[in-house]
A and B are shown apart, each in its own frame.
Chain A
Amino acid sequence: MNSKIAAVEQTAELIRMFAKAIEDTKAKYSDNPVYVQSAVSRAEKQIKKLYIDLFFLLGLPDSNSFEESLSSTFVLYGNEGGDAYVTAKSLHGFLNRLRQSIRAYSPNEELNFSVRAASTGSLHLSFEPMGKDKNKGIEALKAIGETARKLSNTKNLKKSELNEFQIAVASLMPKDKIGIQRMELKGNVLSPQPLKISKNEVKIKVARKIRKVQGEQFQVSGKIVDVNLENMSVIIRTATGGRKRLYFDKTNETKAIDSLKSNFAVVVVAVESQKMQIKKIEIMPDLPPNQN
């Protein structure tokens, strides 16, 4: 255990060292911007690698785990692709526009959020609703996310056809002028009121082999940590820390699946291993934190 703590400290120290090297390089070679850009880019890539090491040492498989533990995460990518860091200026612009969107959604009451951030190149900003009306905050984030998705899929967007809230969200979406190339919204608690689902109500069809077991009953148990409604898949984290991605049949009730994500631990039992079809999904109370 001590060696693990030492490893975490050592990795953190190396991250600090490279971060300091970036600052020192910028200050020392300010007259040589080409060199600074090149050196900083390489140092940032190394920092990214070290962060991945750090996540691993902390028991998180990768940086995505950061947002899995939080309610709603915007992932921002800088102007030069996934490796590019988001500049302070573009972050400032993003936060201003997010504030405008939240105000447009809820003009008569001030909604407050706490923010946590992580960066491994892209910037992960997670917003937790605060104050007495947390559900309203969650609804606001959900509405922003849904509107952003809708607008991004709309061709020939005309400002005259948008309402005030949609205009605010449209301004939040990535544009060159605010320096953010791409934005994703990953939400875990976007559905505040869990739907009641009875046993066997959700049928899951596995489109990919989970495990090569023939003629044997096997089960996958764990907590659903992510649901992708676009390709109808769900990622389950097992008690041993592994992950499995299952694909749903598209005829399923999407709202029901959505509510599974944050409110239940599940036990999925597969009985036809050759067809890899899961026939039954049992919904159980959430796992205690130490079993997540």
Chain B
Amino acid sequence: MTLPLDVNFQVPQLTNHGFLPPGIYDCTLPELKFKFANLSQKRLELYVLFETFLSGLMEHMECIEEVYVDGQFVSNLEETSDIDVLIVAKTLSDELTIEPFIDRMNRVAVDIKVAAKDTPLCDSWFSLYKLFNSHKHSEHSGKEKGFLRMVL
């Protein structure tokens, strides 16, 4: 496998659990592809969907503060059904502006949440992302894990 030369790797090694250590890590699109999309064909398909989604989202760039990526995609699990994405809008009205675009997306493969920054709901999404999914990874329940902030 050829290493992409334009990537400044910032994402740390995965822990023994196969997930990121607790924290939020900046990640470029090429690094996301290199580290997480090449593990299986399904992951590659998910990555392509996510890339398409991001390029569409760029039309609303003025509304967006940050984009976070989480879920099983950000792990070493070969089987993963979707990518969890949190879009933090700059303001409440920005959130409402991009919502129709989000609603048009295929949410089966890209599970998208959107929230304006510094709102109670945004804080709740962060809390959710920090923790292992207690349903799917109950053996790690109560423990924290990391997730990614996309460098747009």
Contacts and interface: CB of A to CB of B under 8 A. Distances in A.
Contacts of A10: 131, 134, 141-142
Contacts of B99: 38
Given A38-B95, A57-B135, A43 B121 contact: yes
A53 B121 contact: no
Nearest to B133: A53
Nearest to B138: A7
A34 B116 CA distance: 14
Contact of B95 (A20, A24, A35): A35
A182 to B, nearest CB: 24
Interface string B116-149: 1001110110011001011100111110000000
Interface residues of B, number: 25
Contact of A8 (B131, B133, B134): B134
A46 interface: yes
Given A7-B135, A56-B135, A57-B134, A14 B120 contact: no
B120 A38 contact: no
Interface string B1-12: 000000000000
Contact of B124 (A8, A18, A32, A53): A18
A76 B123 CA distance: 31
Interface of B is mostly: helix
Nearest to B124: A21
Contacts of A3: 138-142
Given A17-B127, A35-B95, A6 B142 contact: yes
Interface string A1-15: 001101111110010
A177 interface: no
B124 A7 contact: no
Nearest to B142: A6
Interface in A131-181: none
A-B pairs, top 7 by smallest CB distance, nearest first, are A7-B134, A7-B141, A53-B135, A24-B120, A21-B120, A7-B138, A6-B141
26 contacts: A3-B138, A3-B139, A3-B140, A3-B142, A4-B141, A7-B142, A10-B131, A10-B134, A10-B141, A11-B134, A11-B135, A17-B124, A21-B120, A21-B121, A28-B119, A28-B120, A35-B95, A38-B99, A39-B115, A46-B113, A46-B124, A53-B134, A53-B135, A56-B135, A57-B135, A57-B138
Given A4-B138, A7-B142, 13 more contacts: A6-B138, A6-B141, A8-B134, A10-B131, A21-B121, A21-B124, A25-B119, A35-B93, A39-B119, A46-B113, A53-B133, A53-B135, A57-B138
